[in-house]
Amino acid sequence: MKINAFADVSLRAMMVLSAAPDGNLLTTQSIADAVGTPYNHVSKAMAKLRELGVIDVERGRNGGSRLNDAGRKATVGQLLRLLNTRVDPADCHSLNGDCPLINECRLRGALSRAREAFYRELDDIVVSTLPGSRQMAPVFQAIGLRPGL
**149 assigned to some structural domain:** no
The whole-model pTM stands at: 0.85
Q: What is the pLDDT of residues 102-132, one digit of tens each?
A: 777 888 889 889 999 999 999 999 999 998 8
Helix (H, G, I), strand (E, B) or coil at 126: strand
- 128 lies in a domain? yes
Q: What is the mean pLDDT of the chain?
A: 88
Whole domain around residue 33: which residue ranges? 5-142
Q: How many helices (H) and strands (E) does the chain have?
A: 7, 2
> 2: pLDDT confidence band, cut at 50, 70 and 90?
confident
Domain count, the chain: 1
Evaluate whether residue 96 is within a structural domain: yes
Q: What is the CATH number for 129? A: 1.10.10.10
Q: Which of 14, 26, 11 is nearest to 143 (CA)?
A: 26
C-alpha to C-alpha distance for 1 and 119, rounded to whole angstroms: 10
Residue 59, amino acid: R
Dihedrals φ, ψ of 28, to 5°? -60, -35
Radius of gyration, CA atoms only, the chain: 18
Q: Answer whether residue 147 is part of any domain.
A: no
Q: Is 143 helix (H, G, I), strand (E, B) or coil?
A: coil
Residue 9 lies in a domain: yes
pLDDT at 149: 43
pLDDT over threshold 80, residue 94 = no
Instruction: Look at residue 75 and tell me if it is in a domain.
Output: yes
Per residue, the 3-state secondary structure of 23-83, as one string, reads CCCECHHHHHHHHCCCHHHHHHHHHHHHHCCCEEEECCCCCEEEECHHHHHCEHHHHHHHH
Could you tell me if residue 93 is inside a domain?
yes
pLDDT digit string, tens, across residues 33-44: 999 999 999 999
Q: Is residue 97 part of a domain?
A: yes
